[in-house]
Amino acid sequence: MELTILGSGAAFPTLERGATSQWLQVNNDAYLIDCGEGTQRSILLRKCRTKYLRAIFISHMHGDHIFGLPGLISSMDLMGRERPLKIIGPVGLETYLESSNVLPSRYAVKITELEPDENGCIYQDRSVSVFSQPLVHRIDCHGFRFDENKKPNIRKELVEKYQIPGEKIPNILSGQDWEGKDIVITNSELLYYKVRPVSYGYMTDTKPINTPTIFTGVDTLYHEATFTEEHVLRADETYHSTAQQAAQFAHASSVGTLLLGHLSSRYNTSVGHLNEATLLFPKTFV
């Protein structure tokens, strides 16, 4: 799993930061997360290949997260794309794209709109399972968790030890425990991964969340940090977070690594964000 940040600014792009957009590559499958203005150019600069793009996930309908989407859809049509594309986002996304008059003629686009409180698996293919999480913003907004799909291996020594019938192995591989005559062996004991699957969480444009979420234990979490604590009142007014609040959430959620982004253009440097967050969560990057 490889993440490319295409844009990490807030409402106003700057010379250093474009509008929000990310490219997640898992083997030969790619996923775009949000598509702010200028995303196409960032894709070209970072040599991301749209032929691998399987799905686009839109967090919410603010312009700095969607204004690049019509142009990207149109360009892929002009380039002769034939592979179907799924686009998943909030209610109103389909109307927006239809009114933009960019739905392609050469390839099929399937649009799925999420209900405001939708929480659970919203997409699955050979490479990833994607889950949604309602966030706390001025309009309906969702975060996303991407879990890498990898096939587990069964411990042959335990199959022999407990004389597990061969016809039961597919059930175990799909997640079931083994119930013998006088013993129960849990699925986690029976299965292992040669390479552990990894996970990525994406949280943008949200007030701090203090309840359990789908992001607990993710390997890497991207959390918006529009402001520093100096502007915590402004963060509350605009339904955003500070770097310190993002670090508090990462610590409480036991994530592996924290990425900060969606920085306000008022800051000429990200040093303040980094210093503020690393006091609480050392493994932080901006």
Please tell me the distance from the alpha carbon of residue 216 to that of residue 236, in angstroms, as a whole number: 23
User: Angle 48-49-52 (CA atoms, 0-180°, nearest 5)?
Assistant: 120
CB 207 within 8 A of CB 241: yes
Evaluate whether 69 touches 90 at the Cβ level (below 8 Å): no
Question: Would you say the C-alpha torsion 160, 164, 165, 167 has a positive or negative sign?
Answer: negative
Tokens of 156: 């042959």
Indicate if 64 belongs to the active site: yes
The active-site residue, picked from 34, 64, 147, 205, is 64
DSSP H or E segment with residue 249: helix 243-252
For helices 243-252 and 271-278, the axis angle rounded to 10 degrees is: 30
Helices H / strands E in the chain, number of each: 10, 17
Is the Cβ–Cβ distance between 16 and 263 less than 8 Å?
no
- Catalytic residue IDs: 64
